[in-house]
A and B are shown apart, each in its own frame.
Chain A
Amino acid sequence: MTRNLSGILPLSAVALSLGGYSMITAADLQSLDDRALSEIRGQSGITIETDLTMTADKLSYYDDGKGVHLEGMRVGSSEVPGQGAFHRTRIDIGSDAALNLEYLVEDRRVEFSDIRLAGAPGVSMGGIFFDHSLQGTLTLRQQTAGGNGYEFDSAYTMTGGRLGYRTNGNSVFLDDITMSVEALDVTLERVGQTLELTAPRVTGSWQVGAIRYSSDPAIYGRSTDGNGDLLPSYGGLSGQYELSSTTDISAGGRAGEGLRFDNETTIHSASFLYHDDGHSLALRDITGAYRIQDLRLDVDQDWRGRPAVALTLGRMEGEFEVGAIEVGSAGKSFGAFNLSFLLEDQVFGGRNYTNALYLQGGGHADAGAQGLRLAAQWSLRLSDLSYTEDGNRVIISGLQSWGQGDITVNVTRDGVQGGTRFYDGLRIGFEGLEAGYRINGMRVGSDDAPLQGGTELLLALGIYPAYDFTLDGHMTLGAGGASGEGLTINSDIHIRDGRAAVIAAPYDEGNGEQPQKGLWLTDMTYDGHVRNMTLDVTDEGLALATEESWSTMDIGNVRIGNGVDGESLGRLKIQRFEQGSTTLIKPGGAGNVCVGGAGASASACSASGGEWEMRGDEGVTIEMKNILARAQSSEKRNSLLWETNRTVDGQGQAVNGSGTRLVLDNIYTSDGGDFDGDGVDDNTYGIQTDLSVDVYQTRVVKKENGADSLGVNGARGDEKIMDASAPQGYRYVSSPSEADRLNRPLGFAVKAETRFKELTINNIDLVHPVGGAQTAVFGAVLQNVNIRANLTATPIP
């Protein structure tokens, strides 16, 4: 029996069924003899069965004489090495002259061992493998509605899928993929010089059982290790979607030959879930739309003349809405998010930025010959990000971002190579990444609400209102959390030439761009290290536990006013060293709160002089335990240094270490004694902070008589009430009614509790540049502290 028919028909059928984007590859066909023909069954068509094995040393694509090579290509069985993958295709011609294909593919593996670029010898982007079984149908017919192209319906189910990326013997792969897709009334036609693919409705659902990692070169494309145990997992994914799209494909790259893509997609509904040991983080009720204009694919060189596959973008704009972000079995939600964005060329800081990605081989130089290097440049011209919880909405308005540099991707294993320490996992590296972002301001309620200040409220989430920096380092994502599935993160980050705003005014108040005035941390370097930080989804929320972390932030100048040459308060150096710290991020805010009084009910609260606030079910609660460890070295310690009166160098820059310094050194927490008898004070309690954040209406009173900064009149003590009919969107009311109270301004409401058993500052020194260090305080100990706060923070214009 001859079943080694090279499979153009099933391959092309599958390629088209996957969305019609793949090019149909031609292969030599062998003639079927009579005996083989006798194997073909089907009363109303033909059935072709094959065991497909295909190998190719190299597949090359050339663009203006520059090539990219897919090496070590193999198609065959994913389960039995060396054998073919079974294919069966039933072909039928319908009464409407449509070509009907029913296909079945069992345990097929498609793989490339290397992807290389001509002109970059010795390095590759790494290898890819894709295992799958497929069953589906494809109906292809001549377009009927006035066009001269084709219409097709496609539906398929994929099971047992694996999609892996492999470098230097280590691999990360999506395991146990199942997917069902249905695309009906898809049209493919030529419009002028453009191939137009229109999919009016595509629906699908998918699931990734686990994302696995292997550092054993012998474990390749399998779910288990040599002992038969499952490989460690990052967790699983699942989702569903319904979308429609139009894609135009035309010839011509950014320069010379190449391809151009234009696309418009509308997401009618979608969901995305991350699964970790039976718990899930769910993004539900996703809707949105985006439009890609002038995306070009070339084989070219990047801005440093390095050979690359170039993806360059003219413009992309879109908007996404996530209706709810839920964690845990109770379905509690953080709230809803909305993101609108425009990616387009823009000048930032006198330099033109575009959106481009140059894919190259190599990755990190010490990680081995295989890896991916992404020379990237981006220009986020404008973006708004809004957060809505319990119906209250705040908008982070006018977010812009820019950057250029190299990002490397390697799958690495634990050890030192070429002087570089690597960790198990997927390593994302940063090399000379010059980047920045800035936020114009806040809006509350609606997109057209007046621009306000208040971006400094984001500091509570560790986000500066504006920041530009040069970044080097890595973040390695290992498989497996504190127990079972999850992530283990190791990172070493170095930032130089940093400039971050702690307080920042808008960069554009409607009259063109202006320098952002604020409080700036400038001439900043930052060295941060994290070891074995686990991230898990639990039934309560997102749990992080860090074995050890230490960092040094050295701020050359704390400036007021302009971030470039504003007056300086001096130098600030902050060192942190923690061991065993944890964080739990939970959905749901503070609930019912008595602000300014005490009481568990509205009446009791009011009787105590407080304000009873019902902040709803949504929001964010963060529970942190920070264990500050005793100093171990000059880098691993908790300290705070303030330096002034420095000498200046030939360029007029202050010289760090040349001035007078105040040092709070060796700050650490303790449980207040050695209770386990090991001779060292216990340190397990740390500083525990529970922080609940809601977007909530709050009482804002006028502080002076007369007109305010926007010319709205009121008396001292009057309350600010939002009123869309008022010229500035609000008015002042001396005695607000119940209806007025419902229109109080929105802001962030924070309920916080911080407690610790003992916090020690070992010594406070004054350091003179000539006289040296003198200890001023020989120890300061703070014990038995519990601080509770109910604060509302409202942006002001």
Chain B
Amino acid sequence: MIRLTCCSATRFCLLFMALLPALAYSEMSPLGDDALADVSGQGGIYLSGDISINEMGGPVQNNYFGRCDEADKKCGARFAYRLKQDGGWMVLDEIRGMFAFEGLTLRVRSVDSGFGGDGALFDRDVIELGLPNVVRFSDVQFKIASSSTPRPTDPGFQQTDIFAVEMQGDVIMQGNLLVFPDGTP
């Protein structure tokens, strides 16, 4: 199995933990840049930028999907899945929004010191995702629904919208997400 560990816990990390309940989590203290100077296996990349989903709409043009300036059409992405053969479909519908971030880092490093003495006991290599300080959410939205068919254009399509989510603003994400193997591979 893979174990994800989040040092300097953040809302983002907690979200990860919530989504992946099987993954173990332990509290660790932040490792500053100066402490990283003692870490072997340096190098990696620093990522910044923005990602938008269906900002102007998607590629499908039919009686359900269309451009975002068409009031009677849905312009977001749609994800449907079912957990039972011949059953109904759970749907995330009208998925849209933009995320902007600065300073997401990726590298592999050895943790063999620090962390209040836990590092020396740990003494392993990890993949480190250095979380960006701020992630800006702009008009991020989706809708939870249940549907009779995966495609809204299928015959007999019926859908019940359960609730909608909209997110706006900055999310503070500090610290690192560490990924390392655990258990029998």
Contact = CB atoms under 8 A, between A and B. Distances in A.
Given A568-B185, A569-B185, A779 B82 contact: yes
B105 A702 contact: no
Contacts of A454: 43-45
B42 interface: yes
Contact of A781 (B39, B62, B81): B81
A642 to B, nearest CB: 9
A777 B81 contact: yes
A688 B138 CA distance: 25
Given A780-B79, A780-B81, A783-B78, A519 B185 contact: no
Interface string B97-137: 00010110111111000000000000011110010010010
Contacts of B184: 644-646, 659
Contact of A517 (B45, B87, B125): B125
B75 to A, nearest CB: 8
A421 B150 CA distance: 43
Nearest to A517: B41
A757 B58 CA distance: 8
A25 interface: no
A313 B58 CA distance: 58
Nearest to A518: B108
B171 interface: no
B108 A560 contact: yes
A703 interface: yes
A515 to B, nearest CB: 9
B48 A791 contact: yes
Contacts of B50: 595-597, 789-790
B127 A786 contact: no
Interface stretch (A253-261, A484-492, A706-714): A706-714
B76 A784 contact: yes
B39 to A, nearest CB: 8
Nearest to A670: B151
B57 A786 contact: yes
Interface stretch (B12-20, B29-37, B158-166): B29-37
B108 A706 contact: no
A372 to B, nearest CB: 42
Interface string A456-491: 110000000000000000000000000000000000
A793 B47 CA distance: 5
A453 B45 contact: yes
A446 to B, nearest CB: 19
Contacts of B55: 598, 786, 788
B53 A787 contact: yes
A516 B57 CA distance: 44
Contacts of A571: 185
B46 interface: yes
Given A453-B42, A454-B45, A506-B43, A783 B87 contact: no
Interface in B54-112: 54-60, 62, 65, 74-87, 89, 100, 102-103, 105-110
Given A457-B45, A708-B34, A786-B77, A644 B183 contact: yes
B60 A672 contact: yes
B40 A517 contact: yes
Given A517-B110, A644-B183, A701-B102, A707 B49 contact: no
B153 A673 contact: yes
A685 interface: yes
B47 A566 contact: no
A740 interface: no
A785 B54 contact: yes
A702 B102 CA distance: 10
A595 B65 CA distance: 27
A398 B23 CA distance: 39
Highest count of chain A CB atoms <10 Å: which of B30, B60, B79, B106:
B60
Contacts of A786: 53-59, 77
A778 interface: yes
Nearest to A712: B33
A730 B160 CA distance: 57
A795 interface: yes
Contacts of A646: 184-185
A755 interface: yes
A704 B185 contact: no
Contacts of A797: 42-43
A570 interface: yes
Nearest to B59: A755
A567 B53 contact: no
Contacts of A784: 54, 57-60, 65, 74-78
A80 B98 CA distance: 73
Contacts of A710: 37
A441 B106 CA distance: 15
B55 to A, nearest CB: 6
A698 interface: yes
A513 to B, nearest CB: 14
A782 interface: yes
Contact of B83 (A452, A708, A778): A778
Given A784-B60, A786-B55, A786-B58, A796 B181 contact: no
Interface in A438-459: 441, 452-457
A685 B59 CA distance: 9
A672 B153 contact: yes
Contacts of B48: 595, 698-700, 791-792, 794
A750 B51 CA distance: 11
Contacts of B87: 778
A561 B181 CA distance: 11
A353 to B, nearest CB: 26
A534 to B, nearest CB: 25
Contacts of B47: 791-794
B107 A757 contact: no
Nearest to B84: A778
B24 interface: no
A184 interface: no
Given A782-B78, A783-B78, A570 B185 contact: yes
Contacts of A747: 46
B60 A706 contact: no
A722 to B, nearest CB: 14
B77 A503 contact: no
A701 B103 contact: yes
Nearest to A780: B81
A505 interface: yes
Given A792-B47, A796-B45, A781 B85 contact: no
B2 A792 contact: no
A474 to B, nearest CB: 34
Interface string A714-754: 00110000000000000000000000000000010010000
A700 B181 CA distance: 31
B114 to A, nearest CB: 14
A705 B30 CA distance: 12
A112 interface: no
Contacts of A517: 40-41, 108-110, 125
Contacts of B30: 704
Given A784-B54, A787-B52, 20 more contacts: A453-B42, A453-B44, A517-B109, A518-B41, A562-B125, A566-B125, A595-B48, A644-B183, A645-B184, A699-B48, A699-B102, A706-B32, A708-B34, A716-B133, A717-B133, A777-B83, A781-B79, A782-B78, A786-B53, A789-B51
Interface of B: 1-2, 30, 32-34, 36-37, 39-60, 62, 65, 74-87, 89, 100, 102-103, 105-110, 124-127, 130, 133, 136, 150-151, 153, 179-181, 183-185
The 10 closest A-B pairs by CB, nearest first: A453-B43, A561-B125, A784-B58, A568-B185, A517-B41, A791-B49, A780-B81, A781-B150, A708-B33, A567-B181
28 contacts: A453-B42, A503-B44, A505-B43, A505-B108, A506-B43, A561-B41, A567-B125, A654-B185, A701-B133, A702-B33, A703-B33, A703-B103, A708-B33, A709-B37, A716-B133, A755-B58, A757-B59, A758-B60, A778-B87, A782-B77, A783-B79, A786-B56, A786-B57, A787-B51, A788-B51, A792-B49, A796-B105, A796-B107
